[in-house]
Amino acid sequence: MLAVHKRGGGDPTYRIDGERHWRGIRTPQGAATLAVEARSGERTVRAEAWGPGADWVLEGLPALLGADDDVATFEPRHPIVAEGWRRYGDWRIGRSGLVMEALTPAVIEQRVTGQEAFAGFRMLVHRYGERAPGPGADLRLWVQPGADTIRRVPSWEWLRMHVDPARSRALVTAARVADSLERTVGLPGDEVERRLTSLPGIGVWTAAEVRQRAHGDADAVSFGDYHVAPDVGWAVAGRPFDDDELADFLEPWRPHRGRVPVLLGLAAGRRPRRGPRMAPRTHLPARVTRG
């Protein structure tokens, strides 16, 4: 449930140390380090937090772990979905309540390879973020930059971080109205999508990525994703789906459409990767020079 907030294997805002998950989080009250440890034998979760935002993240921990996710009306309907639900019925969709935290990496991930996206996010965090407070600093844990900082990043610095003008403009534009975006938490999913996609450079895929993480929206589906529709099609029909087929397949599950791809992935895995991988682009600067 927490891993959805980890952006690639080298995410500097997320660390796993044994059974403990560590996150560097920028809250409305300031930076925080959050450590969460599941004690499965006791069916309990132990959490500690440090920094100005410590109280905020601890208060929001139940929601982050899916306490507000209502599954009462969910029906598996399909045998593979039912198998995933049988095996992982405790899985819930959490809500971070932090829109810019979810939006920033999502915009950077638009239309590029995972390798390029995760590298760009790491560079942004290392160059413009800050060390997480308390023991997070010893773990080399970082907190991603806030909207005020993102608004001031020069255009040439985005290029050095392998973020092209289309994505950097979208992110800077969103940062300028960050306060309004944060107030969308708690609104219906369709209204959240409408407000997000009214911004230049924010489409339905990016809006869904934010709805899933920041809002805990069980109906949000990442249409346009390179993997979601093909993986669902492979799991249920033995062939890749396109987005139209994905939409038709998921329609009976409203308002739980977002659960189905996850449960199918948990039960059936992802489709075999036999084709060539997309190569990262090479026309952007290759290095970031620290000042």
The domains of the chain are located at 3-43+91-214, 228-268
Confidence class of residue 284 from pLDDT cuts 50, 70 and 90? low
Cβ-based neighbours of 162, under 8 Å, separated by 6 or more: 116, 119, 120, 123, 281, 284, 285
How many of the other CB atoms lie within 10 Å of CB of 158? 23
Strand partners, 131: 142
Q: Tell me, what's the pLDDT at 137? A: 87
Q: Tell me, what's the pLDDT at 54? A: 98
Confidence class of residue 29 from pLDDT cuts 50, 70 and 90? very high
* Cβ proximity of 213 and 96 under 8 Å: yes
Residue 25, SS3 per DSSP: strand
Q: Tell me, what's the pLDDT at 19? A: 86
- Mean pLDDT, range 25-35, rounded to an integer: 98
Q: In whole numbers, what is the pLDDT of the chain averaged over residues?
A: 92
At 104, list the tokens: 């920033």
Q: Tell me, what's the pLDDT at 273? A: 64
Burial of 138 (0-12, 13-18, 19+ CB in 10 A): exposed
Sequence length of the chain is 291
- What percent of the chain stands above pLDDT 90? 84
Confidence class of residue 169 from pLDDT cuts 50, 70 and 90? very high
- What percent of the chain stands above pLDDT 70? 93
Q: Tell me, what's the pLDDT at 288? A: 40
* Cβ proximity of 232 and 198 under 8 Å: no
Strand partners, 36: 21, 47
pLDDT at 276 over 60: no
Q: Tell me, what's the pLDDT at 280? A: 54
pLDDT at 269 over 80: no
H-assigned helices in 60-177: 61-64, 79-87, 99-108, 114-128, 147-151, 155-160, 165-176
Q: What letter does residue 19 receive in the DSSP assignment?
A: T
Confidence class of residue 18 from pLDDT cuts 50, 70 and 90? confident
Specify the CATH superfamily of domain 3-43+91-214: Hypothetical protein; domain 2 (1.10.340.30)
pLDDT at 279 over 60: no
- Mean pLDDT, range 51-78, rounded to an integer: 96
Q: Tell me, what's the pLDDT at 106? A: 98
- Mean pLDDT, range 218-236, rounded to an integer: 96
